[in-house]
Amino acid sequence: MALFVTAMLRELLVKKKSAIVDKWVQRILGSYPSESLKFLISQKDRFANPVGYTISSSAGAIFDELIGDSDSRVTETLLKDVVRIRAVQEFSPSQAIRFVFDLKEVIRNEIEKEAGEICSSDELAELESRIDNLALIAFDSYMDSREKLFRIRLDEVKARSRQSTAENGDIRNDEHVKRDG
């Protein structure tokens, strides 16, 4: 994911990183039900709140990958960490990966005043194109996670079915023994 970003745009994004990432995390966490939101925001312990911790820690790293010389494998892993969580929750596919597109709006809102003075619309379009690519990676990751989840569920159903069939077979065999005995 090579990116042509002028030093001035990168500098602006680095300068605004904290505000961008904080607002982006708030947007992501805001997609959860209100009863969960307070916990996700307030509980910082990674073991007590793995969802909030993963989202908070991954968002900054994803942003760094976006504006830096990123490694596509690292970017994919960071996105997978967030998407995997959202894939097992009650999110539709579009809701699950919406957080990637939210980054565009957050960046636009944070840098709009200064961006016109230091970069061209082509540079901003390139940055937004990279965010679109992140969304594609996130969607693939979502689909992989859902497929794995459905395979696990199918395997569980098959196992229960085999167990039930075996138990019913044992009952039938006992009935034959009682009738013959």
- CATH number of the domain at 34, please: 1.10.490
The torsion defined by the Cα of 167, 172, 173 and 176, in degrees rounded to 10, comes to 160
Residue 62 to residue 67: CA distance in whole angstroms: 9
Please, is 79 exposed, middle or buried when counting C-beta atoms within 10 Å of its C-beta (0-12, 13-18, 19+)?
A: buried
The string of pLDDT tens digits covering residues 121-132 is 888 999 999 999
* 79 within a domain of the structure (yes/no): yes
The string of pLDDT tens digits covering residues 84-98 is 999 999 899 999 999
Whether residue 110 contacts residue 23, with contact meaning beta carbons closer than 8 Å, is answered with yes
Q: How many CB atoms lie under 10 A from the CB of residue 45?
A: 9
Range of the domain at 78: 7-146
* 152 within a domain of the structure (yes/no): no
* 42 within a domain of the structure (yes/no): yes
Amino acid at 57: S
* 106 within a domain of the structure (yes/no): yes
The string of pLDDT tens digits covering residues 5-34 is 678 899 999 999 999 999 999 999 999 988
**pLDDT given at position 2:** 42
**pLDDT given at position 62:** 96
Helices (H) and strands (E) in the chain, counts: 7, 0
Could you tell me which of 33, 118, 31, 22 has the C-alpha nearest to residue 83?
31
**Taking the chain, what is the end-to-end CA distance rounded to the nearest angstrom?**
75
Residue 82 to residue 10: CA distance in whole angstroms: 25
The structural domain count of the chain equals 1
* Stretch 55-69: mean pLDDT: 92
* 166 within a domain of the structure (yes/no): no
Residue 25 corresponds to which tokens in the numbers above? 């995390």
Residue 100 to residue 91: CA distance in whole angstroms: 14
User: Rg of the chain over CA atoms, in angstroms?
Assistant: 24
